Amino acid sequence: MQPLLSIDAVSKRFAAHRALAEVDLVVEPGEFIALLGPSGCGKTTLLRCIAGFLTPDEGRIRIEDEDITRAPPYRRPLNTVFQSYALFPHMSVADNVAYGPRRAGVGRREAQARAAEALALVGLEEMGTRLPRALSGGQQQRVALARAIVNRPKLLLLDEPLSALDLKLRRRMQIELKHIQEKLGIAFIFVTHDQEEAMAMADRIVVMNAGRIEQTGTPEAIYRAPATRFVAEFVGEPNLIALEPAGPGHARLAIGGAELPAASGMRFAMARPEDIVLVNGDVPDDLATFPGVVEEVLAIGPLTTLFVRCGETVLKVARLGMSGVELRPGSPVTLGLRPAALHLIAE
């Protein structure tokens, strides 16, 4: 199938600052893509280039067959949900949503009907006559979404649309957005700096750093097999254990000393906190064990994290529920991990 959006080697500079460096990205129809990265990584710049508010210095952006690299925003077959919502304060909610169809020449009645339909989709059918400022932040967010999908674009861009909402509302909107996206079959490109949000919603995550794409992949791939140390550290909390060379094709863990097959050039083995276990009594054969001393116990309810010092490094060990809260700082423990299950990182 022909890709919906293809971005080829797009670069953008702001004076001396390189905001985007030869970014490539392909988005399939109906896909939910999260652009994830710290602030200043170029994710919003990339989104603005796709929307047409910025023109790339180099490279090409195509939607289906059409080259839109230099097309003005009002000639692009896509819509945007803005971070600040950007609702027109002088128009009612219904007029805000009907604005696109109205200006495109759709009759007043037809436009109002479409607006009502879009508002119903986001659960705001009752609010049409109100002014945006009379709505709560969450409701304004929904109006912005309704206004952006009323024309049924093939591609919707969302610029940190949930960042102004409180945590509970945010969780609810994440699920709702995902449902709306699946129902309409519109491709979403969703900018966020919140890795949990990206993991919860996206089909594919694009991790960006310093104007470059570090890795593109499913949430699982990004989490289990990060391509770089940056991705490992930005998504979740990794334990990075240094590798020492141990003959051709092999390396030795700096902690515990277990040997494992490793291509040359691999410098770290990554273990997620849930990959490391506390060992009591019998040890399975494939588990490498080593001693440590508890430094800190952090229990947040569903998860308890132990910070265990093993020589130079402090390892994070996650346990479900409140198990492990009885351990006190200073307690000696034995940790275990499966060397074969570790993911290796070069840099």
Partner 1 sequence: MAASRTTLALLLFAPLAFFAAFFLAPMAVVALTSLTTDDGGLTFAHYARILFDQYHWDVLWVTFRIALATTALCLLIGFPLAWYLVRIVRWRSWRRACVILIVVPLFTSNIVRSFGWMVLLGRTGLVNQGLMGMGMTERPIRFLGTETGILIGMVYILMPFVVLSVGNALAKIDTALEDASADLGVGPARTFWFVTLPLCLPGAVSGAIMVFALAVSAYVTPALLSGGQITVFSMLIFQQYSSVFDFHYGGALSVTLLVLTLVLVTLAGRIGERGRRAA
For the bound state, the minimum distance from the C-beta of residue 171 to partner 1, rounded and expressed in Å, comes to: 26
- Choice between 84 and 136, CB closer to partner 1: 84
Pairing of strands 204-209, 313-320: unpaired
H or E element: which one contains 232? helix 229-234
- Choice between 99 and 307, CB closer to partner 1: 99
- Choice between 82 and 307, CB closer to partner 1: 82
H or E element: which one contains 199? helix 195-201
- Choice between 153 and 238, CB closer to partner 1: 153
> What distance in Å separates the CA atoms of residue 249 and residue 233, rounded to the nearest whole number?
26
For the bound state, the minimum distance from the C-beta of residue 48 to partner 1, rounded and expressed in Å, comes to: 9
- Choice between 27 and 111, CB closer to partner 1: 111
- Choice between 40 and 73, CB closer to partner 1: 73
Q: Which tokens hold the place of 155?
A: 């591609």
List the x/- string, 63-92, binding to partner 1 by CB under 8 A.
---------xxxx---xx-x-x-xxxxxx-
Residues 267-306 interacting with partner 1 (rule: CB under 8 A): none
- Sole residue written with tokens 């588990």: 287
Is 171 in a helix, a strand, or coil?
A: helix
Measuring CA to CA, which residue among 103, 84, 224, 90 is closest to residue 158? Answer: 84
List the x/- string, 5-44, binding to partner 1 by CB under 8 A.
----------------------------------------
Measuring CA to CA, which residue among 257, 226, 230 is closest to residue 241? Answer: 257
By the 8 A CB rule, do 293 and 278 touch? no
Is position 51 an interface residue for partner 1 (rule: CB under 8 A)? Answer: yes
> What distance in Å separates the CA atoms of residue 186 and residue 32, rounded to the nearest whole number?
8
Interacting residue with partner 1 among 1, 15, 16, 104 (CB under 8 A) = 104
By the 8 A CB rule, do 78 and 51 touch? yes
Q: Would you tell me which residues interact with partner 1 (CB under 8 A)? A: 51-53, 72-75, 79-80, 82, 84, 86-91, 99-100, 103-104, 147-148, 151
